[in-house]
Structure 1
Amino acid sequence: MALSKDRLIGRKAILLLLSEDPDMQLNQLKENNWKGCIGKVGSMDAHKVVAAIETAAKKNGIIESTIYRESHALYHAIMEALHGVTRGQVQLGSVLRTVGLSFAVLRGNPYDKEQEGDWIAVSLYGTIGAPVKGSEHETIGLGINHI
């Protein structure tokens, strides 16, 4: 069970997120039978960040909303990415922090063997800080989970 170097799902999720031409990146991923989407969310509520990412993943056919394990895998990938953004304490408004984030969700098989199945990655990049313009700094997070 070896990771394929040209299919590192976390790396690809981050590159998609930071790409100057995400549509081209998404088209290349689709050629390899991967699914992905990008979006933006800003909030003082972590549950709104989770909801925005879940909604985008469902609308873009990355996960099937009627299959629990797919929603569950996405949820854990989102939470892992939020841990990176919030430095381990997934709290926003309750501690007077707000985020403005771009996100990418990517689904595919990063392994040489097809039998390994799909994995899902969520990457987040943007700002976090006090809810006062100019009181924020950059942040990034990545979460990966098997489906």
Structure 2
Amino acid sequence: MLHADRRIGRQALMLVLDEDARAEVIQKQGWIGCVGKVGSMDAHKVVAAIETAAKREGVIGEDRYREGHALYHAILEALQGVTRGSLQLGSVLRTVGLRFAVLRGNPYENTEEGDWLAVALYGTIGAPVKGLEHEAIGLGINHI
């Protein structure tokens, strides 16, 4: 059963929206996580920045395929939200400026459920002209 105080997606969204909440969210739940920023006209650069931060901060292991694979799918799901279903950016003259949060932990009362990953993205998307963008948010959750 999903524990109400341990909704990993909700916590990731709170973390991406409130930079100061990082230590409190992560310590309270006993989870691990990271936050960062990325801006690009290329979706693969967004994916790479988030994966690099997650590995650097120890959220996922560098040599564990299943962890990287779970993170990859959570990132793509979150990007789908930001891009409204189309992962195209530069090829259709769109750019993003995003903050990201990655959380890893078990949101369930039963510890045998294992760890899950949540990726939250918040920022802007639009034409590559300053001032012509709008806000966007995305969330992806995947089990390891």
TM-score by length of 2: 0.97
State the SS of the aligned residue for 2:100: strand
Equivalent position of 1:21 in the other structure: 20
Which string of whole-angstrom CA distances, capped at 9 and with x for unpartnered residues, describes residues 79-112 of structure 1? 0000000000000000000000000000000001
2:7 matched to which residue of 1? Answer: 8
**Residue equivalent to 1:90:** 87
How far apart are 1:65 and its partner, in Å? 1.3
Map of 1:1-147 to 2, 5 A cutoff? 2-22=1-21, 25-147=22-144
Unaligned runs of 5+ in 2: none
Percent identity between the aligned chains? 71
Question: What is the CA distance between 1:27 and its match in structure 2?
Answer: 4.2
Deviation larger for 114-123 or 13-22 = 13-22
Q: Distance in 2 between matches of 1:35 and 1:122?
A: 12
What residue identity is the alignment partner of 1:53?
Answer: I
Distance 1:91 1:134 in 2: 20
Task: Give the deviation of 1:21 after TM superposition.
Answer: 1.1
Once the two structures are TM-superposed, the CA of residue 28 in structure 1 deviates from its matched residue by: 4.2
Indicate if the aligned counterparts of 1:17 and 1:104 stay in contact, CA closer than 8 A: yes
Q: 2:15, 2:25 within 8 Å by CA — same for their partners in 1?
A: no
Is the partner of 1:21 in helix, strand or coil?
helix
Instruction: Give the TM-score taking structure 1 as reference length.
Output: 0.95
SS at the partner of 1:91?
Answer: coil
Q: Tell me how far 1:33 sits from its aligned partner.
A: 2.1
Aligned equivalents of 2:120, 2:89: Cα separation in 1? 18
Tell me, in whole angstroms, the C-alpha distance in 2 between the residues paired with 1:77 and 1:5: 21
